[in-house]
Structure 1
Amino acid sequence: MKITNFAVKNYQFTLIIFLLFAVVGVLTLFTMPRSEDPTIHPPEYLITVIYPGTSPKDMEEQVAKPIENKIYGLENIDKMLTTIEDGVAAIQVKFKYGVDINNKYQEISTEINALKNSELPKDIYLVKTEKISSSDVKILQAALVSDNASDKLLRDQADILKTRLEKITNLKEVKYSGMPEQEIRVDVQLDKLAQLKIPLNIVAGSLQSEAADIPGGSINLDSKVFNVKTSGKLKNVEDVANTVIYNANGKIIYLKDVADVSYKSEMVNHIIRLNGHRSVLVTAAMKDNVNIAQVQKEFLPIVDEFSKGLPSNIKLVKTFDQANMVSQRLGHLGFDFGLAILLVAITLLPLGFRASLIVMISIPLSLAIGLIALNLLGFSLNQLSIVGLVVALGLLVDDSIVVVENIERWLREGHSRMDAILKGTKQIGVAVVGCTATLVIAFLPLAFLPDAPGEFMRSLPMAVITSVLASMVVALTLVPFMGSRILKTHAHGEGNFFLKQLQKFLTYSYRGIMPRALKYPKTTIGISLILSAFAFFLFTKTGFKLFPTSEKPMFLINIKMPLQADIPESDRVTKLIENELKQHKEIVYYTSNVGKGNPQIYYNIHQQDVKPDFAQIFVQLDDEASPASKVALIKQLREKFKSFPYAKIEVKDFEQGPAIEANIVVRVFGEDPDTLRKLSFKVEDILRNNPGTVYINNELNTYKSDVKIEINKEKARTLGVLTSDVDKVIRMAVAGLTVGDYIDDRGDARNVVLTLPKDKFSNLDAFKNLYVNNIQGVPVLVNQIATISFETSPTAINHFNKSRFIKVTSLTKEGIYANDVLKDIVPQLDKLKMPPGYYYKLSGEAESEGDALGGNFLSVILLSAFLFIGVLLLQFKTFKGIIIVLSIIPLGILGGVVMLLITGHPMSIVSIIGFIGLSGIQVKNSLLLVDFTNQLRAEGYSIDDAINKAGETRFLPVVLTSITAICGLIPLAWNPNPLIAPLAIVLIGGLISSTILSRIVTPVMYKLIPPSIESI
């Protein structure tokens, strides 16, 4: 081959180029972006609207529907999922992949801003639009722990650490949580307002006017420009208390005359404890495309220095540092890689020391070139790309071994070193290129997986493709060059001791089988077909779970309280759970979050927003805890909390793959709430009666009670009162109103909030003393124009693409897969009698699998199949050759499936990748046999002689490549990471079965349907 001739004859140039690749590869390893998970930027956005005190029904009509109508009209919308609860609406918007992410963000922001100025209520507390990105995951979570420090001291210390961390350029979203901010609270005395007949909206208007900070503009004096400053912001409690709110018959009424004004902490809506002790969390995320190890070097000194300067009653505990996990994972893989290299070196002994040395040098060099290409393509070093490099380790040794072994064979036959190098490489070169092409095409569909799963997984197949292509280049250039320098001619044609023994073993093993197999080819193929059918039968017994469970030594406990439980009640129950966790010595940290979720520390688990009847505990085990011990603890805790009396306790492990709400989600669509509720009970019964389900949740199981204030519009019109003014006064009294801000002693703006003392709302009589001004400014009692009652309403309302639905969710028990449960429940769901216009759809794992494996992926699979066949046609120029080569694939699948069953792993995206890689290796091995058989026939050998000689000659490198791949994969099969072990297990099992059987099946198939040599 020309490239080989060039590399050998210009050896100085070849040496320099590959030394350059080696140096750049090492530098790339230490400098390329490094993170735990791939950074993905899906065209997905989250619109969150917070409107405290608003029922789900009102949120739906006043907030959700106007936003949905606007956003759904944008181009390239894929999905829109809306969740509406008390005072909160969350709208997840997903566009089709390929759109400009920033442009779509601007479009959404423009529409939301327009709605804020038109259709949305003016007193909404918060409307925010966020891009969803995997880089939002916190890489650092530190707790400031103290049982006796004041709120202000803890808050100030957290703010100091936050300010210092914000100065690190590679960090973003540095926040602290768990401690309410200070504010000036204006608790209005209703009885005094009623006595003076001062409407509450007058008090609010006076405060807003006093708090307004309007720039005075600028003036020109003596050719200079001076800014004009006016009164400025409120400064302290005295400023607020002395605000004039009313002038009654010449008597000035100050705010302090009708209200208690004081510094207070905001309403507590998020309580944090670490191992049962009061805490504040400081968290930080990392920017895209940076090295997490380098970022850790930047923030650790700051955190350590800050910790030393803390008051004696405050302790800093760094509970979560993702950089340590990444380092630990890379360390384990580095050890596995080193062990694999050692085992590979041992298996190469039959080639001899010099030949083995060439192969051993080619392996890290191929990986280095693959790593350089991966970095240039914009990928980072993460758990998926590392898995890809692991797969590549089992594949890329093949090319070098095949080339070296063929050169060695030529040398053993007595050829000169240069002839052996050039002619031996040329003889095998076309087959090597064809084999590499088939491998690349085999992994191509994975590089084109659609949507978020595709973007998440893409670095894995790309790592394989770049490394395999690099190994081909190395095998055809560096290997011949090194061979021309260090290989020597052989005095004995049989090779060294190890080669003789291996050759003798292979000859002896197949001596009795091969003649019979070739004598009865149809019987042999019949047995092969039976084994193939058995392999596909075993597929149905493995179970299927697209993305595996995480092996990390951590999990979550979700505490779901009865409806309308408040923060103190949720906190009481959380403490009971903490008491149980204290008994388990294997638990290092448990971080309790009452009223809110833990900050996001895993890429597909987003933080639950403020919810008084919810709590979450983030549980961390020792770093060296095994996945089995974690699973056992989860099972034990689930059993312990199964009948917990005060709340529903869900112990949940982290899952790989895209975010899903639960393993099984059944959505029932329709418009009438009562009909939907009845259907939800039927769906719930189906799920509850299945033995594989756990933690069944039906949002419509119970309704909540709301206070309804019904305004008599006829009376209101008669008295000249505007309905909107009544709504504002009620809202101000119940939820409070931020009327301005003041500057605290750290220079930060804090809120001034007008509200009523909470003890005044122990009953509904407080509403009787509320006044509202009519259009003439005359105060009117609210209870003159409104009646107060209770009404029931749903706890949540859901929309999908603007259509209302209810959902019933369930997790699956340990060892049971969602697909197995769905096989049982789907027929029952199909039998449900639903009214016209009502129907169900599956979400959860079922939807995730459909998104990942449907649509474009099937098209790419089809395209890859044609490319695969096309490459083989170029190689053999006949369909018979293709059939012979592909006939071995089912036999490799047999070994892979058997190994999955033995080890207890389900079929997953990882094992699918293993089977894809396995098919490439099998085709490669079979192709080597068929290609050499064709060459021998072209030289004049008969079919039988060509089959026998090709089997004896080429089966040796096939066995060597398989053994080296298996030995390289053995350490990885023991790895606890479910993204690595199943893949290695499939490859090992498949290589064992296909290597043993290919020596029989491929020659027999060749004899049955020998390709025409004239066409080759």
Structure 2
Amino acid sequence: MVKATTRKTSLRERFNISRLAIAYPWLTLSFWIAVAVAGLLVFSSLKYALLPDITFPVVVVNATAPFTDALETEAKLTQPIEQSLSSIPKLDRLRSSIYPNQAVISLSFGVGTNLEQSANQVETRLKQLNLPEGASYKVFPLNLNESAAVSYAIESPSKNLVDLTKIAQEEIVTAIAKLPGVLKVNLLGAVEQTTESVGAKHLGDNSSLLPTDSSPKASPDPNEQSPPTKQTKTSAVRLNGKDALAFQVIKKSDANTLEVVAAVEKEVARLQSALPEVQLILAATQAEYIRSATDATIDALLEAVIISVVAIFPFLWNLRATLISALAIPASLLGTFIVMAIYGFNLETITLLALALVIGSIIDDAIVDVENIMRHIDEGETPRQAALHATNEIGLTVTAATFTAVAVFLPIALMKGTIGQFFMPFGITVSAAMLTSLLVARTLSPVLAVYWLKPKSSKTSPRENRYWQSFAEGYRHLLSWSLKHRSIVIGIAALSFVAGIGLIPLIPKGFIPKLDRGEFNISYTAPINATAYLPDWLKSSAGVETDALGESLDVAKQIEAAVLKSPEVEKVFTIVGFREAEPNKGIINVALKSDRTLHTAEVQDRIREQLPTIPGVTTSVEDIQFVDASLGAQKPLQIALVGDDLQAVSKAAREIKARLLTIRGFEDVTTTGETGEDGTIFQIEHRSQKRTVYVSANLNRELTIGQATDIVVSEAKAVLPPQVTLALGGDSARSGEIFGSFGTTLTLSAICILFVLIFLFKSWIDPLVICLSLPLALVGGIFALLITNSDFGMISLIGFVFLLGLSNKNAILLVDYINQLRSSGYSRTEAILKAGPVRLRPIIMTTASTILGMMPIALGLGAGAELRTPMAIAIAGGLISSSLLSLIVVPVVYDIVHDRKPPSKNKN
């Protein structure tokens, strides 16, 4: 017994760096002043963004050959290329779209893969192939993070599109392209005078997948006799129902969107004054929503700071003690900014959310230290004696609580793939904030307490203390009753846990909540004659003339007219044929008025009903993607039907589509890659080198992705023949990946908690008792999601991981103090009944400050609130249940698992 006590004492001394901080106060203060100055300097250099910088490397191969049949293209061109490329290292996904004379093969590589190296590997493999005679290919390395930051329309009351094109190429595009952070500038809707000629063109001339960069063209000699000319247009652009020219600024993958947009705005202002005959009109931008979302998150963070500080004053009733505790917030934040700068993080939704959520937690350690120092002062000790004794008493407890919380977030920071890159900044930011707050509580807080806190002069207890003593005494009676009726308490806890688990099927499964972003896209695909896929030289020799772009533009005009009738719509920006090889496709960006009363999703549903029905035309009303998927945005719901028999696969896809069209909630249901009703084949899709037909759909607000996935899988199984298999795509596949990743992460987090506690407590019994808080926390989190009708998705899952890091703090406070009392001679029951009321105030204080600090986030105010709210709701609900149940269940379980051997009564 003596050896165990000595080991525990030495461990407490090891974690009591407060003694050194108190012995050298000016060194302590100087250190935190230096941290504050460095943090402020670093903060001014941090950049604002919407999401973390993630690299999505994609390489696209656009191959052409003189075939007139998609089957021939598949067999002689696509399959040899796919077989050659399928074994490239770090290849995640291989998809192909096959047309009569063209194949577009998309290779998606693992997040973080070097794009240039991957593109070189693709080039090397293709050079080794013996392609059919007349075949050619182009390789396009794409970084999907190189997205369109801003677009401007170019209009003029006195200039036609040919003149505007020349001005744009010579004056505007070249100037914008030189700005820092700009990768390239696409000129859309350009019209040029070209020499009319008949003859063979290079097969690759019509195979460009992306808009080409516009560059200045040499002006022809006006005195020279010109051959017949015609106007050539690669794409068409319209703004609010009028023809226009536009330039689209593509940022570099590592460039900050807001900085690029700010530079473009400044240059546009200069160009506007230099070109009075031209009007440069903002058509679309990411910057406005990014600014609104980050501003709203920062507001929530500041409100959390104020509320967390205000929440602890009624418990302490001491301005100086409240101020000492409150100083932990700015000190911890400034220290965290330094860590963020070291890792190269931005101030974006994920890191700002991490800071806002952690506000109530980083004050916890200081609260516990200051409250314990105040208690010792109230018992007659001097502030210096109280600081030394209280920090020695509480040091191991606070350290254990923080280390276990950090242990939860380390698995998040180490997650692999897209999800890992997405949430690594969250895990590291939270861990940095908590470790910094621990350092504040162990050094700065006790030093300030020594000089600022004073013994109470009044001999009578204030009224508020009497209220608190009455409350604590009531809790002591409840705890005493619980120890005498342990089976009832354990039964209630077990029933609560089972009920919580039973509620999970009732919570809608989601992926990412629909954002009230104030803008969305309408994409469409118009029918196109098969001859349009022929190369120019073959169309010319056959005397074929098609105006696919003009036909597609007519479709766009009809859709625009319907959209512009909506009173909520402020701006409509249309790009027709934004890919040269697909003139029949277009995308319409719809910006809504800021003073609208309807949610973006409500406007989408209304406009979807108002769109005209155009024979052969498919439309899709889509949310703005988080990543600018240059290969075409996938709809949230997508299933892939795979099989060699294309007719059987197509028949099954048509049957599934017909079923989904009769079910409420499924919108814009389309199939891709199927044969015609008469068996004709214009397009074939491959997924991992196998023939595939995709069934895709958007969802309205009545269905979550989880519900929709269950429905479509059920409907598909009812019609699928044996030779056709089903695979999930879109958000359905991502949801499965996320739930699988977080299942592993939660398990690793629980194991990390257990190992840290075993190391600190030198025992496995107490850590197991403490870990009972974890399932108790899940009960409240699940119930909170249910009553608020929040999705159980990626955002709320992060909330549950965060919850695991916080919920065991209360149990650690209780168990550690019980052990201290027992070591000093108290019996087990006496130690429990004394420790509970003593630790009641810090437990309620820390829980209240954390929950109230999350209220601005949980209330869902401001842009991007949908991303923040589910996380805060899950955490707040879980903390309430874990705190209430832990105050009773943990002491009861502790009483059960420890021996009943009566210890000595020596309390000295």
> In the alignment, residue 652 of structure 1 is paired with which amino acid?
E
2:897 equivalent in structure 1: 1009
**Equivalent residue runs for 1:901-916 within 5 Å:** 901-916=786-801
Instruction: Evaluate the alpha carbon distance shift between residue 493 and residue 913 of structure 1 in structure 2; reply closer, same or farther with a 3 A threshold.
Output: farther
Query: Structure 2 CA distance, aligned partners of 1:428 and 1:389?
Result: 25
Stretch moving more, 931-940 or 552-561: 552-561
Query: Structure 2 CA distance, aligned partners of 1:609 and 1:662?
Result: 22
Q: Deviations over 1:415-474 (max 9, x none)?
A: 122221122112111111211121112122322333122212221222111111111111
Q: Are 1:31 and 1:291, in contact at CA under 8 Å, matched by a contact in 2?
A: no
Query: Structure 2 CA distance, aligned partners of 1:385 and 1:544?
Result: 24
Instruction: Evaluate the alpha carbon distance shift between residue 873 and residue 47 of structure 1 in structure 2; reply closer, same or farther with a 3 A threshold.
Output: same
Task: Determine what percentage of the aligned residue pairs are the same residue.
Answer: 25
Residue aligned with 2:682, SS = coil
1:446 equivalent in structure 2: 412
2:434 maps to 1:468: yes
**Equivalent residue runs for 1:100-499 within 5 Å:** 100-113=114-127, 115=129, 118-119=130-131, 122=134, 124=136, 127-134=138-145, 136-146=146-156, 149-159=159-169, 160-186=171-197, 188=198, 261-266=227-232, 268-312=233-277, 314-349=278-313, 350-351=315-316, 352-491=318-457, 498=464
Q: Are 1:421 and 1:483, in contact at CA under 8 Å, matched by a contact in 2?
A: yes
Instruction: Evaluate the alpha carbon distance shift between residue 269 and residue 42 of structure 1 in structure 2; reply closer, same or farther with a 3 A threshold.
Output: closer
Query: Structure 2 CA distance, aligned partners of 1:443 and 1:170?
Result: 33
Instruction: Evaluate the alpha carbon distance shift between residue 1011 and residue 803 of structure 1 in structure 2; reply closer, same or farther with a 3 A threshold.
Output: farther
1:634 equivalent in structure 2: 604
Q: How far is 1:912 from its partner?
A: 0.9
Residue aligned with 1:477, SS = helix
Query: Structure 1 CA distance, aligned partners of 2:69 and 2:331?
Result: 63
Query: Structure 1 CA distance, aligned partners of 2:167 and 2:636?
Result: 41
1:990 equivalent in structure 2: 878
Stretch moving more, 64-73 or 557-566: 557-566
Query: Structure 1 CA distance, aligned partners of 2:805 and 2:646?
Result: 54
Q: How far is 1:503 from its partner?
A: 4.6
Q: How far is 1:376 from its partner?
A: 0.4
1:570 equivalent in structure 2: 552
Query: Structure 2 CA distance, aligned partners of 1:827 and 1:581?
Result: 35
Q: How far is 1:983 from its partner?
A: 1.0
> In the alignment, residue 575 of structure 1 is paired with which amino acid?
K
Query: Structure 2 CA distance, aligned partners of 1:664 and 1:156?
Result: 43
Q: Are 1:442 and 1:868, in contact at CA under 8 Å, matched by a contact in 2?
A: yes
**Equivalent residue runs for 1:518-597 within 5 Å:** 518-564=483-529, 566-596=548-578
Instruction: Evaluate the alpha carbon distance shift between residue 654 and residue 541 of structure 1 in structure 2; reply closer, same or farther with a 3 A threshold.
Output: farther
1:73 equivalent in structure 2: 87
Instruction: Evaluate the alpha carbon distance shift between residue 119 and residue 457 of structure 1 in structure 2; reply closer, same or farther with a 3 A threshold.
Output: same
Instruction: Evaluate the alpha carbon distance shift between residue 894 and residue 861 of structure 1 in structure 2; reply closer, same or farther with a 3 A threshold.
Output: closer
2:105 equivalent in structure 1: 91
Instruction: Evaluate the alpha carbon distance shift between residue 544 and residue 655 of structure 1 in structure 2; reply closer, same or farther with a 3 A threshold.
Output: farther
2:53 maps to 1:36: no
Residue aligned with 2:881, SS = helix
Q: How far is 1:581 from its partner?
A: 2.3
Residue aligned with 1:173, SS = strand
Q: Are 2:562 and 2:611, in contact at CA under 8 Å, matched by a contact in 1?
A: no
Instruction: Evaluate the alpha carbon distance shift between residue 133 and residue 492 of structure 1 in structure 2; reply closer, same or farther with a 3 A threshold.
Output: farther
Stretch moving more, 357-366 or 1000-1009: 1000-1009
1:651 equivalent in structure 2: 621
Query: Structure 2 CA distance, aligned partners of 1:573 and 1:235?
Result: 35
Query: Structure 2 CA distance, aligned partners of 1:483 and 1:360?
Result: 12
Q: Deviations over 1:167-201 (max 9, x none)?
A: 22222222221223442222x4xxxxxxxxxxx67
> In the alignment, residue 847 of structure 1 is paired with which amino acid?
A
2:766 equivalent in structure 1: 881
> In the alignment, residue 988 of structure 1 is paired with which amino acid?
A
Stretch moving more, 20-29 or 444-453: 444-453
Q: Deviations over 1:737-763 (max 9, x none)?
A: xxxxxxxxxxxxxxxxxxxxxxxxxxx
Q: How many residues align?
A: 849
Q: Are 2:155 and 2:244, in contact at CA under 8 Å, matched by a contact in 1?
A: yes
Q: Are 2:328 and 2:440, in contact at CA under 8 Å, matched by a contact in 1?
A: yes
Residue aligned with 2:327, SS = helix
Q: Are 2:361 and 2:850, in contact at CA under 8 Å, matched by a contact in 1?
A: yes
Q: Deviations over 1:893-918 (max 9, x none)?
A: 23222222222211011111111111
Stretch moving more, 911-920 or 877-886: 877-886
TM-score (norm 1): 0.78
Q: Are 1:934 and 1:1013, in contact at CA under 8 Å, matched by a contact in 2?
A: no
**Equivalent residue runs for 1:899-938 within 5 Å:** 899-938=784-823
Residue aligned with 2:656, SS = helix
Q: How far is 1:138 from its partner?
A: 1.8
Q: How far is 1:513 from its partner?
A: 3.5
> In the alignment, residue 865 of structure 1 is paired with which amino acid?
A
2:579 maps to 1:693: no
Residue aligned with 1:978, SS = helix
Query: Structure 2 CA distance, aligned partners of 1:319 and 1:1012?
Result: 76
Q: Deviations over 1:194-238 (max 9, x none)?
A: xxxxxx67xx89xx9xxxxxxxxxxxxxxxxxxxxxxxx996699
Residue aligned with 1:815, SS = coil
Query: Structure 2 CA distance, aligned partners of 1:1011 and 1:450?
Result: 44
1:711 equivalent in structure 2: none
Query: Structure 1 CA distance, aligned partners of 2:612 and 2:470?
Result: 62
Query: Structure 2 CA distance, aligned partners of 1:64 and 1:147?
Result: 48
2:11 equivalent in structure 1: none
Instruction: Evaluate the alpha carbon distance shift between residue 801 and residue 270 of structure 1 in structure 2; reply closer, same or farther with a 3 A threshold.
Output: same
Q: Are 1:891 and 1:993, in contact at CA under 8 Å, matched by a contact in 2?
A: yes
Q: Are 2:378 and 2:456, in contact at CA under 8 Å, matched by a contact in 1?
A: yes
Query: Structure 2 CA distance, aligned partners of 1:79 and 1:51?
Result: 24
2:541 equivalent in structure 1: none
Q: Are 1:452 and 1:658, in contact at CA under 8 Å, matched by a contact in 2?
A: no
Q: Are 1:555 and 1:619, in contact at CA under 8 Å, matched by a contact in 2?
A: yes
Taking only aligned residues, the RMSD between alpha carbons, in angstroms, comes to: 3.2
Instruction: Evaluate the alpha carbon distance shift between residue 554 and residue 361 of structure 1 in structure 2; reply closer, same or farther with a 3 A threshold.
Output: same
Query: Structure 1 CA distance, aligned partners of 2:634 and 2:264?
Result: 34
Q: Deviations over 1:589-626 (max 9, x none)?
A: 11112233xxxxxxxxxxx6642332221011235657
> In the alignment, residue 411 of structure 1 is paired with which amino acid?
I
Residue aligned with 1:611, SS = coil
1:622 maps to which of 572, 583, 593: 593
Q: How far is 1:646 from its partner?
A: 6.8
Stretch moving more, 681-690 or 31-40: 681-690
Q: How far is 1:892 from its partner?
A: 2.6
Q: Are 2:69 and 2:99, in contact at CA under 8 Å, matched by a contact in 1?
A: yes
1:846 maps to which of 709, 732, 742: 732
1:257 equivalent in structure 2: none
Q: Are 1:878 and 1:1012, in contact at CA under 8 Å, matched by a contact in 2?
A: no
Instruction: Evaluate the alpha carbon distance shift between residue 433 and residue 2 of structure 1 in structure 2; reply closer, same or farther with a 3 A threshold.
Output: closer
Query: Structure 1 CA distance, aligned partners of 2:793 and 2:901?
Result: 42
> In the alignment, residue 151 of structure 1 is paired with which amino acid?
L
TM-score (norm 2): 0.87
2:692 equivalent in structure 1: 805
1:27 equivalent in structure 2: 41
1:7 equivalent in structure 2: 21
- Structure 1 or 2, whichever has the larger Rg, is 1
> In the alignment, residue 840 of structure 1 is paired with which amino acid?
L
2:867 maps to which of 965, 979, 996: 979
Q: Deviations over 1:511-539 (max 9, x none)?
A: 66434322211111111111111111111
Q: How far is 1:869 from its partner?
A: 1.2
Query: Structure 2 CA distance, aligned partners of 1:397 and 1:78?
Result: 43
2:891 maps to 1:891: no
> In the alignment, residue 583 of structure 2 is paired with which amino acid?
P
Instruction: Evaluate the alpha carbon distance shift between residue 622 and residue 88 of structure 1 in structure 2; reply closer, same or farther with a 3 A threshold.
Output: farther
